[in-house]
Structure 1
Amino acid sequence: MLNNVTDVLNLIDNVMYYPILIIIMTIVGLYFTARTRGVQIRLFPESVRLLLEPNDDDNSISSLQAMLVSTASRVGTGNIIGVSTAICLGGPGACFWMWLMCIIGASSAFVESTLAQIYKRKHHEGHSYGGPAYYIEQGLHQPKLAALFCIFLLATYAVGFNLLCSYNLQSTFMEYPFYNPSTTPIIIGGLLAILIAYCLLGGGKRIIKITSTVVPFMGVSYVIIALIVIILNFQNVPSMFGLIFRDAFNFQAIFSGVVGSCMVYGIKRGLFSNEAGVGSAPNASASANVSHPAKQGLVQTLSVYIDTLLLCTATALMCLSTGVARDAAVSGAPYVQNAIHSMFGAPGPVFITVAMILFAFTTLIGNLYYVDNALIFLNKKRIPSKKFMRIFHILSAMIVFVGATIPMDAAWAAADITMGGMILINLPVCLLLGKTAIDCLKDYEKQKKAGSNPIFKGSDIGLDEEELDYWK
């Protein structure tokens, strides 16, 4: 029964990403890159400068803080397990396609976050909130489509991503002698579900605070460890890059099996990690206190780069530089653990396990930040009752338990499909509303050229300010 379900999920996953989503993401990304004249590259220095721009209101969320929230939700098991899976199943060339789609997709990330800022709402306490559901409702006047997007967001972040995150965490224990495939996943899933339920139901605030503080340091430590491994294997670096580019442009191999090729795996796993164009980051972007929407759009492009060009690349180059065997049998955590074990011995895999535990926990909790926004929108902009949220959180914990016990293919396919549903709504909407974001960028650059700190007025780009809740 489970095998049949997995086969169906894989079939849907394969068709959804090739040819449908790969074509849509590429066309939309290239379109926005052309229309913005390569904003993600051209204004990269400005994006970095904006990170350091002071926040005038100490009680509001700064541009940097909003970017860190979205980056924290992106940084997780996908940076380690996702990249490993792409290389083992698709080939080293997956790295190149991951990099390429990251740069192209950053333009879509700029547009979606700029739109989230333009159409954000003001809370009665003064802070702002918003996201794709709000720019679909306000910009396109399609409340039913906005509600459908929220449903896909719930399916993605409460189900698909949490199933996969739980599976990825338990998979890091496969290399230990005590691992029993019949019982260990159940034990790990049970312990993780109990911990998540405890935190969601009001306890564990101290645990969340500690892990949220430790994770950034763990992320930096992970990159440093990866750099050490690469430096120690510097003699393999030239041949490693040669391998990546040869495999990336081996079109005979790619087109003889497109679905399982390095191109498709690189795009899918890169997208899972950086979420450019998915419609998740705009939920955090809308909360930033900025004087002009384009500022947050520019900052969000950096989040995509940090995730893919820094963290995902660190995993890829660390593993490939060691030259350890890669195949389907070690795809996921084992490949990364084997690579780091080859340099540091037994402590290496333990470090990966600890990192995965921390990344997975904060990802599972962080996913529910986006879920809360969707639930509020679906509940007619009202916070759901405590009873409803209690039941929802218990169900969320049960999903975490299930995720640890399902096959790898089912976990990845479920996450890919639900995320794909968000993209199929969000990117066409961004395309329809794209002129608004592009005009907003032009207004920003015009004011910068005049030597002033850009301040946004909806009327300057032809918007009816009466329809804008925040920018009045």
Structure 2
Amino acid sequence: MEHLFQAINNIFDFVIPVSDFFWDFPTNFSWYASIPILGNFSLAVILLIGSGIYFTLKTGFIQVTHFGKGIRILAQKKRDEIGISSLAAFFLSSAMRVGPGNILGVTGAIAVGGPGALFWMWVSAFFGMATAYTEAVLAQIFKERKKDEFVGGLPFYGKVLLGNKLWAGIALSLMYIIYAMCCLPAQGFNVVSSIGQMVEITTGASLEGTSVFYYVVALLLIAVTAYIAFGGIRKVTKVTDKVVPVMAVVYVAVVFVLILLNLHSVPYFLGAVFGGAFTPQAIFGGVFGTVLVQGVKRGLMSNEAGQGTITMAAGAANTNHPCEQGCVQSIGVFLDTMVICTLTGFVVVMAHVWTGSEAEAWFALDRLPKFLESAKALTPGTAMNAVVAFLLTFCFCLFAFTCLVGMISFSEIAANRISSRKRVIYTVRIIGIIITAFGIACSLAGIELGNLWAISDLGNILIVFANVPLLYLGAKYVFKATSHYKKNDGSAFDSSVIGHSCPYWDEEADKQS
């Protein structure tokens, strides 16, 4: 069995160079790299940050002016007979955003690009909030009603914006489903391995991958995942409504305690991040472009602004105006990067492990052990070390689990663009569960399929290249909807506002007239 897993991993050896090529293009060509200043910026960086700046300016810094409005929408108590509430959609999208990348991605970015990578995460996230707003508004404008649910997002607005071509919706749906399915093995692996690690921390004894405990956990995880997945979007949101707040609060509380215990290191953290953003240390290659790309790349992996992958949650919400969910989804990027990722950065940078005498050993570790070793360096004693390690591993486990069920759920929504027949939806659910089981089996065999992580990177950038041009095609509709929303004159939103057919909103406007 081990040979089979390793063979599968080896099949994907080609993915890493292909992924790196697309992320680095065209800086991997000497003629471009030799251009002063511009040669440091890859197309991915220009596209993501440039688009974020453009949408920020055109919407009048919507992520700042309507941040409070987004908070008030989240605080509204609203019973929805159709679709899900804005808060439920926020938790569902956060289940995807606040994933293992918030720990692994940030730690990896700092290890490769230095503390300055965190600064560029902040920059990309600030402008990414406007990009997230734009794609969420598009998801709302062109969402469709399916019985007592709404379906929408990238495959739906992509089909409309590309001339209502059936092939466009199918192609975008397949692109997301393939991307999500490639991410599932790693999430299944993370859940099982982190549960085992929590048991080892608690008992102080190591567990063999072939132990009965792991097999019981694996079977339970598959059963729970299947139960949630076959419950549909409403079942998934019931889970994320409960789990996301818990994992966010626990993570924030634990790291905040570590910061309080190490307040003297906060100035060092700020100096390392801001200094490293523009003058990377030699240990990290000394290349400005490396720091910048790591920040943007891992920022995207974390908050997913510009990918269109979170838009399925935005399209599922029942709102009074398309722009409401745009404001909400913008806050999701803030929570993910400005809060959760920053806290991870605090732990890694303030620990000083990456610069001290143990730096060589630290760099040799995988990303999660890197993070836990950093946390250990910030805790004052053995007993507290165990408590902190357990709680952080617990959060990591929940990050992975919510990401897992979110990807299966979003794949189901995307599949609705291909066909809404039950057998098609059931097939997507079953494939997702089988692939998750494969990732779990890899954990039991003690094989970490590192190359499958590279597929996530490749999937991220390919979806960006597909989604961002669509955002420009639909931008005029978003800007018109935003102007209507800001006027707040009491008039209903319908097709006449944006000059394009949006059947659901026309039906709602007719009900109000």
Residue identity matched to 1:341:
K
Find 2:278's aligned residue among 244, 249, 269.
249
What is the aligned partner in structure 2 of residue 318 from structure 1?
A: 347
Partner of 2:455: 414
Q: Counterpart in 2 of 1:304?
A: 333
- The root-mean-square deviation of aligned C-alpha atoms, in Å, is 3.2
Is 1:120 aligned with 2:143?
yes
Tell me if 1:97 matches 2:132. Answer: no
Matching residue of 1:341: 376
1:328 aligns with 2:363: yes
Residue 370, structure 1, aligned to residue 413, structure 2: no
Q: Do the aligned partners of 2:185 and 2:437 also contact (CA within 8 Å) in 1?
A: no
Contact persistence 2:136–2:325 (CA under 8 A): yes
Mapped to 2, the partners of 1:280 and 1:434 lie a distance apart of 18
**Residues 387 and 319 (structure 1 numbering): CA distance in 2 closer, same or farther, change over 3 Å?**
closer
Distance in 1 (CA, whole Å) between partners of 2:142 and 2:401 is 32
Task: Identify which of 214, 217, 223 aligns with 1:198.
Answer: 223
Secondary structure at 1:122 match in 2: strand
- 1:154-179 deviations in Å (ceiling 9; x for gaps): 122222x2233244456656897866
* Structure 1 residue 384: Cα displacement: 2.4
C-alpha contact 1:193 1:400 (8 A) present in aligned 2:
no
Establish whether residue 221 from structure 1 lines up as the match of residue 243 from structure 2.
no
The correspondence of residues 34-183 of structure 1 with structure 2, limited to 5 A, is 34-55=57-78, 57=80, 60-125=83-148, 127-140=149-162, 141-159=164-182, 161-169=183-191
Picking from 4, 9, 12, the partner of 2:15 is: 9
1:348-363 correspondence runs (5 A):
348-363=388-403
Identical positions, percent: 29
Cα separation, 1, equivalents of 2:86 and 2:287: 43
Q: Does the 8 Å CA contact 2:229/2:409 hold for their aligned counterparts?
A: no
- C-alpha distance in 2, partners of 1:277/1:390? 26
Question: Which whole-Å CA distance do the structure 1 matches of 2:278 and 2:459 have between them?
Answer: 30
Cα offset for 1:123?
A: 2.3
Q: Deviations over 1:171-214 (max 9, x none)?
A: 6568978668xx63999986665334323444899998778635
TM-score w.r.t. the length of structure 2 is 0.80
2:44 maps to which residue?
21
The letter of the residue matching 2:386 is A
* CA shift for structure 1 position 239: 1.4
1:428-454 deviations in Å (ceiling 9; x for gaps): 10111111011110111122xx4x4x6
Most deviating of 109-118 and 212-221: 212-221
Residue 27 of structure 1 deviates from its aligned partner by 2.1
Q: 1:463 corresponds to which letter in structure 2?
A: H
Indicate conservation of the 8 Å contact 1:229/1:322, yes or no. Answer: no
Aligned counterparts of 1:58 and 1:210: Cα–Cα separation in 2: 18
Q: 1:154, 1:211 → 2: CA distance?
A: 20
Q: Report if aligned partners of 2:415, 2:425 keep a CA contact under 8 Å in 1.
A: no
2:480 is matched with which residue? 439
Q: What SS does structure 1 have at the residue aligned with 2:416?
A: helix
Verify the 8 A CA contact 1:73 1:363 in the aligned structure 2. Answer: yes
- Normalising by structure 1, report the TM-score: 0.87
Q: 1:302 is matched by which residue type in structure 2?
A: I
Q: How many Å separate the matches in 2 of 1:384 and 1:51? A: 35
Once residues 264 and 171 of structure 1 are traced to their aligned partners in structure 2, the CA distance between those partners, rounded to angstroms, is: 30
* Contact preservation (8 Å) 1:29, 1:107: yes
- Separation in 1 of the partners of 2:425 and 2:11? 34
Change (3 A) 1:136 1:205: closer
Compute the displacement of 1:3 (Å). 7.7
Alignment CA distance shift 1:363-1:249 (3 Å): same
The 3 A distance-change label for structure 1 pair 210 and 392 is closer
Deviation at residue 469 of structure 1 after TM alignment: 7.1
Compared CA separation, residues 26 and 390, structure 1 to 2 (3 A)? closer
Q: State the Cα distance separating 1:262 from its structure 2 match.
A: 2.5
Aligned residues: 462
Contact 1:92–1:243 (CA under 8 A) maintained in structure 2: yes
> Hey, what does 2:493 align to over in structure 1?
456
Counterpart of 1:130, as a letter, is G
What amino acid does structure 2 have at the position aligned with 1:458? S
Corresponding residue number in structure 2 for 1:425: 466
Tell me how far apart the structure 2 counterparts of residues 210 and 69 of structure 1 sit (CA, whole Å): 9
CA-to-partner distance for each residue in 1:52-82, whole Å, 9 max, x for gaps?
2343646652222211211122212111222
Q: Which moved more, 1:191-200 or 1:365-374?
A: 191-200
